[in-house]
């Protein structure tokens, strides 16, 4: 498959999943609304606002939060010459302003990008990454990160996490309200069958929503890989870098589920096995490295 068709295919697939997500959330809201009777609407508004507020905060301050969480320091042009200049060069190639560059002092090789838009974008690499990558491999990694910035993945993942939060809060409120219902059942008019479906949906939905979120995250990784290959015109650089990451599975000291989706390869050890089973893969923010390398080699 060519670079062009990989790029458009991954964009199409994300759109489809996001659309499915919207349909799923609307369906859930409708069913729970019917199940609860009149109080459904206000519940929805409240759940939405709560979810929106929490996601918006992390979106707006993502750069500051993540940099502080991982104790990142600004990169020095002399000290981190390759990193600094590679970020400069690839920004030239993609026509965006150079994002700020940071370094995390950690032996585990990894990198990530974050920030709500071009102006607030940051690219971060660990010292472990700088040690093991040559310049062409580093170009591949940085191109992948810049592609996340260029594709507005931060915005997309924020919208998705607002929807996931909505589902979680909504179902949670619903289950709580059932307790209430037991004590004064006379003044509720939710119909029986919808009530039953609502209960089943409430149990399953948070899981489904999370799985959809992870599926979108994995598609964006493939998209960023393909865009990186297009940007550097040298997919082999990124392919070699990913192989190196696969073969040095040292877990990042500050790794957590909260920021896992930002990194070039999942910072959590369980996800970086060379052949994860389908169940691990289903719950992972990143596609398996072996599969990513194989796709890059096809380009």
Partner 1 sequence: MQSSYIIILLAVLVGLYLLGMYNRLVVLLNRIKEAWSGIEVQLKRRTDLIPNLVSTVKGYAKHEKSVFENVTKARSALMGAQGVKDTQAAENMLSGALKSLFAVAEAYPELKANTNFQDLQKELSDTEDKIAYARQFYNSNVLSYNNSTKIFPNNLFASLFGFKEQEFFDVDEKETQPVKVDFEK
Residue selected from 76, 117, 134, 172 as contacting partner 1 according to rule CB under 8 A: 134
> Is there binding between residue 127 and partner 1 (CB under 8 A)?
no
> Is there binding between residue 76 and partner 1 (CB under 8 A)?
no
- C-beta closer to partner 1: residue 95 or 182: 95
> Is there binding between residue 81 and partner 1 (CB under 8 A)?
yes
> Is there binding between residue 64 and partner 1 (CB under 8 A)?
no
Of residues 84-123, those binding partner 1 (CB under 8 A): 85, 88-90, 92-95
Active-site entry in 145, 221, 236, 243? 145
| Least Cβ distance, residue 295 to partner 1 (angstroms) | 22
User: Which residues face 101 on adjacent strands?
Assistant: 123
- C-beta closer to partner 1: residue 72 or 113: 113
By rule CB under 8 A, what string of x and - marks binding of each residue 229-248 to partner 1? ----x---------------
**Applying CB under 8 A, which residues contact partner 1?**
81, 85, 88-90, 92-95, 134-135, 233
The catalytic residues are 145
């Amino acid at each position: 498959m060519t670079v062009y068709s990989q790029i458009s295919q991954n964009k199409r697939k994300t759109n489809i999943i996001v659309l499915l997500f919207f349909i799923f959330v609307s369906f859930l809201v409708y069913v729970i609304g019917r199940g609860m009777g009149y109080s459904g609407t206000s519940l929805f508004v409240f759940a939405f606002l709560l979810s929106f507020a929490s996601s918006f905060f992390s979106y707006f301050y993502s750069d500051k939060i993540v940099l502080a969480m991982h104790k990142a320091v600004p990169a020095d042009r002399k000290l981190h010459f390759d990193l600094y200049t590679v970020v400069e060069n690839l920004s030239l190639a993609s026509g965006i302003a150079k994002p700020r560059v940071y370094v995390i002092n950690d032996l585990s090789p990894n990198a990530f990008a974050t920030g709500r838009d071009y102006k607030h974008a940051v690219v971060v690499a660990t010292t472990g990454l700088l040690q093991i990558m040559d310049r062409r491999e580093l170009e591949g990694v940085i191109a992948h990160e810049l592609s996340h910035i260029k594709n507005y993945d931060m915005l997309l993942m924020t919208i998705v996490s607002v929807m996931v939060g909505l589902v979680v809060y909504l179902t949670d409120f619903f289950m709580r309200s059932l307790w209430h219902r037991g004590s004064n059942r006379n003044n509720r008019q939710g119909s029986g069958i919808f009530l039953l479906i609502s209960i089943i949906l409430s149990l399953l939905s948070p899981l489904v929503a999370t799985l959809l979120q992870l599926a979108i995250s994995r598609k964006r990784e493939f998209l960023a890989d393909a865009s990186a290959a297009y940007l550097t015109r040298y997919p082999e650089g990124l392919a070699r870098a990913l192989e190196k990451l696969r073969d040095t599975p040292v877990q990042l000291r500050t790794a957590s589920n909260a920021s896992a989706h930002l990194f070039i390869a999942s910072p959590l050890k369980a996800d970086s096995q060379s052949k994860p089973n389908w169940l691990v893969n289903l719950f992972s923010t990143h596609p398996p490295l072996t599969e990513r390398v194989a796709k890059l080699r096809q380009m």
